[in-house]
Amino acid sequence: MTSMTFRDKRWLVAWLQAAVVIGLPFVRISGESAVRFDVPTLKLYFFGSVVWISEAYFFLLVFLLFAFGIMLFTVLYGRIWCGWACPQTVLSDFARLIERLTALLSGHRAVRALISHGLLLLFSSLVSATLIGYFVPPSALVRDVLARTLGPWTFGSWILFTSLAYLNLAFVRQRFCGSVCPYARFQSAFFDEKTLTIAFDSSRSEECLGCEACVRACPAGIDIRNGLQVECINCAECIDSCSRQRGRYGKDTLVGYTRGAQGQKRMRTRVAGLSAVIAVIAVMLAYQVHSRIPVGFWVVRDDRQPYHQVSVKGSMLNAYNLFIENRSLSPELYQLDVSGIRDAQLVLARNPVLLPPNSRVTLRVYVFAKRQNIIDRITRLTFTLVNPASREIKVSQEAPFMYPERSEKGVDI
């Protein structure tokens, strides 16, 4: 049985990646997309959770984890990502597949080019629609397209992304990897003597057939026999071509994945350092996720109505605005309490408060306190929001309670 070539394995990875990327926006959890960033509300829907813009610190930790993860991955495996999973490489492979299929449809050069560019434009449009699906619900996108009611921003973004994708796939492709991509330059700073790379076995250079099949197969247009080059994306096309040519003569390939300094067993400083940093960030992120409370709560004292004397020597009233965010995808009930002044009374339209899923509400509340129970002119009140169904969900906010030093008649209250 013939073993799979690296190209076959890369195509398997590419199709799996395409299925995941295209399918994720269509997966719905609790009525929302599995992964989608809603631009108007600045909310990220992520597998049944909603991350609000007020929780932006999550994005910082994820970004740091991603950045240091790329560094560690590069030290260990070089540019495996570039050759096997990078969207630029995967889309370029699909573009070459379209061109090969087009060549079977027509032998006329002009007709073949016209069909090829037409299919690339259609393919670019589908890729752009998939990208937009991570910002606009796919069902709404399809409905608006069929009804020809697509909004100007969505339509403009679709045209822009389609144009960029088409120009890239039709004229740029792997040239981007060696001349524009910052990762190609970034990798050289993290390679060491044991990083996984594709290399030509120079100790057996006299066995080379000189067929240059590796050069013709390389999508980046380099000659692997000249050593490690920044344009190389580790796609293994040169390995397959060399194996195929030399296999005809019963010989093994001269090109392959390799690590240098195989005899050294000492700990790699970069690997240890980056692993420690990633572990710390991962623990911080895990703690934030574990301790995250799916509710946001803020209290703002109404300065337009700083205080109100209910009676000359009776009670004092302060007004507050409460902002509550239900960051879950289910309706939640919350009980509001106040403390800080003995026998303080909380007055609001409804308590407990029922919050719709994934919503933000503003409440107007009043706090009454008897003058005899107020010691200081400014007293800190504590507003506490509790979910009766889960006592673990409990958040508190402080706000000042004030009363005037003198009444309208000029006497102390």
pLDDT beyond 50 at 410: no
CB-based contacts of 249: which residues, under 8 Å, 6+ apart? Answer: none
**pLDDT tens digits, 15-31:** 999 999 989 988 988 78
Per 3-state DSSP, the chain is made up of helix, strand and coil in percentages (nearest 5) of 45, 25, 30
Cα gap 82→85, rounded to integer Å: 6
Give me the residue spans of the domains in the chain: 6-258, 295-402
Our measurement of the distance from residue 96's CA atom to the centroid of its chain's CA atoms, rounded to an integer in Å, reads: 29
Sign of CA dihedral 254, 255, 256, 259: positive
pLDDT beyond 60 at 413: no
Average pLDDT, the chain: 86
**pLDDT for res 341:** 87
**pLDDT tens digits, 243-271:** 999 999 889 999 999 986 554 556 688 88
**pLDDT for res 307:** 57
Phi, psi of 288 (to 5 degrees): -65, -40
Question: pTM, whole model, 2 decimals?
Answer: 0.75
Can you tell me the mean pLDDT for 390-407?
A: 77
CATH architecture of the domain formed by 295-402? Sandwich (2.60)
Our measurement of the distance from residue 170's CA atom to the centroid of its chain's CA atoms, rounded to an integer in Å, reads: 28
Q: How confident is the model at residue 134 (pLDDT cuts 50, 70, 90)?
A: very high
Q: How confident is the model at residue 194 (pLDDT cuts 50, 70, 90)?
A: confident
**pLDDT tens digits, 68-110:** 998 898 888 888 888 898 898 899 999 999 988 888 887 788 8
Cα gap 290→283, rounded to integer Å: 10
Cα gap 324→393, rounded to integer Å: 13
Can you tell me the mean pLDDT for 320-349?
A: 89
Lowest mean pLDDT among 89-93, 95-99, 142-146, 182-186: 182-186
